[in-house]
Amino acid sequence: RFEKDRSKVMEFIRDEVAKGRQAYIIYPLIEESAKLDYENLMKGYEEVKAFFPEPKYWISMVHGRQPAAQKETNMQRFVQGDTQIMVATTVIEVGVNVPNATVMLIESAEKFGLSQLHQLRGRVGRGAEKSYCILLTSPGIGRDASERMKIMTQTTSGFEIAEKDLLLRGPGEIEGTRQSGAHQFKLASIVEDRQLLVQASQQAAQLIEKDPTLLAPENQSLLHFLRQQKGMVNWGKIS
């Protein structure tokens, strides 16, 4: 959904709340743009309150800048059903279980990674009622962000999403600290050749178990090759 669909989305949330359900409205709070994101969160909270006025509706707000006690109180009010709507950041990404919550609206969804979107979406659909996760994006989002939104609409499988995320971001450094970016594998793709890599790993493990020093006659050529390559190859980069 795009910004132009906001009023329809809010009306849909109101319909769900009228049925006795609850809803999450999630805003990004990214470290690099924390001040602006916080302002957007507070602005969004005021807009939600205007659309869902008290005392007909009650709203909780939860974010990382709140004192722990206040955050816990606001969270529990929603969990216990004292509020119908929770406006929050990703602090509710894990550990919140409200089976009565059937709608999640994620604002500026293009700012979230696939794994975050998947974790957030997991907060709804925990009860018997049909549930919905709505991704609201800004117009003119980039190709990668558009692809993330497409993937989220195509599957709910955490495994598939992790695989697609790996393809989009790159696996980073297997032996280092970088978590994303172009990898340095030369002979295989960690995603497309996954089964081949698993088989190769299993065969290598069997070989090491049977002949750890490679002294068997059939392994002499491998031993010779490894001695030639010693100090010349970083094996973690060519798997």
Using one digit for the tens of pLDDT, what is the confidence trace for 162-220? Answer: 888 887 776 544 444 444 444 455 556 655 666 776 777 788 888 888 888 888 988 88
- CA contacts within 13 A on the Cβ side of 137: 19
pLDDT of residue 185: 53
Per-residue DSSP letter, 102 = E
pLDDT of residue 178: 43
Q: How far apart are CA 49 and CA 12, in angstroms?
A: 16
pLDDT < 70 stretches in the chain: 1, 30-33, 170-194, 197, 231-239
Torsional class of 194: left (φ above 0), alpha (ψ -120 to 50), beta (otherwise): alpha
pLDDT of residue 203: 84
Please write the tens of the pLDDT for every residue from 154-175. Answer: 998 888 888 888 877 765 444 4
Q: What are phi and psi of 26, to 5 degrees?
A: -110, 135
DSSP-assigned letters across all residues of 29-89: --GGGHHHHHHHHHHHHHHHHHHS-TTT--EEEE-TTS-HHHHHHHHHHHHTTS-SEEEE-
CATH class of 3-152: alpha beta
Domain(s) of CATH 3.40.50.300: residues in the chain: 3-152
pLDDT of residue 171: 54
Q: Which long-range contacts (CB under 8 A, 24 or more apart) does 54-58 make?
A: 57/17, 57/84, 57/85, 58/82, 58/83, 58/84, 58/85
**Contact in structure between 142 and 110 (CB atoms under 8 Å):** yes
3-state secondary structure of 183: coil
Q: How far apart are CA 27 and CA 225, in angstroms?
A: 55
Q: What is the pTM of this model?
A: 0.70
**Contact in structure between 191 and 163 (CB atoms under 8 Å):** yes
Q: How far apart are CA 80 and CA 96, in angstroms?
A: 12
Q: How far apart are CA 234 and CA 216, in angstroms?
A: 25
pLDDT of residue 174: 42
State the amino acid at position 27 in one-letter form. Answer: Y
